[in-house]
Amino acid sequence: MQKTILIIEDDTEINDMLRILLQQNGYQTVSAFSGTEGILVHSREISLILLDLMLPGRSGEDIIRDLKAKHNVPVIVTSAIHDVSKKVDLFALGADDYVTKPFHNEELLARIAARLRTDAAAQTGETLTYKDIVLNKSDFSAECCGKSIELSKHEFALLELLMKNPDRTCTKSLIYDTVWDCENSADDNTLNVHISKLRKKLKECNPDEEYIETVWGIGYRLKK
């Protein structure tokens, strides 16, 4: 079954370019040229939304809220914003991903495919998401920014624990008990090495983002 993507973009040329690109890659499309129009045509037939953040009239942030309230599907923001703090704000408002303009078509298509896979798997409770990280527990796969990450058994379990507890600090004792299941090999050095490897792999996917922060003397948590 073809997926339908709602394009909300006020620039006619970009809207047409996106429509043609998506249709050539097997998607159905609905086009809107303002936030108000996008909200009006948004329906349960829509599987994903591409939203230009800089629209006339209402702010893109308000539009995200209304779109999610009407029918909660993945929203990928297309924007010229490069400020990391602004991008983090978008996630807090409900955006699922962002693509910085100008973007490569291949990157956009990869992000769309990743979001659609994530949304489908989430409906079965098989995935965890945080910012642009996606863990699929059914096949032990991981993605960041639409890019696949190769994780060891303990790296996957460590990231899974952090993502299951996005609003708390995971203490070292909790991590040892959960990730290493009280194995005698688990110690501070082992944990530090695994955290370092995780950070490096995530940084390779998204150099502009920090995902894991240290709470000195206590443990680790996901960075807001």
Helix/strand/coil for 148: strand
Backbone angles phi, psi at 44, to 5 degrees: -75, -5
**Sheet order of strands, 97-100 included:** 28-32, 4-8, 48-52, 75-79, 97-100
Q: How far apart are CA 72 and CA 94, in angstroms?
A: 9
User: Over the stretch 78-118, which tens digit does the pLDDT of each residue have?
Assistant: 887 665 455 556 676 678 888 888 888 998 998 898 888 77
Query: In this structure, which long-range contacts are made by residues 147-152, counting pairs with CB atoms below 8 Å and at least 24 apart in sequence?
Result: 147/110, 147/205, 149/201, 149/202, 149/205, 150/201, 151/198, 151/201, 152/194, 152/197
What pTM does this model have? 0.56
Question: Which residues, 6+ apart, have CB-to-CB distance to 132 below 8 Å?
Answer: 97, 144, 145, 146, 206, 209
pLDDT > 90: percent of the chain = 35
pLDDT for res 72 = 80
What mean pLDDT is predicted for residues 196-209? 91
Q: How much is the average pLDDT of 12-31?
A: 96
Full set of structural domains in the chain with CATH: 4-123 (3.40.50.2300), 128-222 (1.10.10.10)
What would the mean pLDDT of 118-146 be, rounded to a whole number?
79
211: pLDDT strictly greater than 70: yes
Task: Return d(Cα 55, Cα 34) in angstroms, integer.
Answer: 6
Segment 4-18 shows an average pLDDT of 95
pLDDT at 183: 52
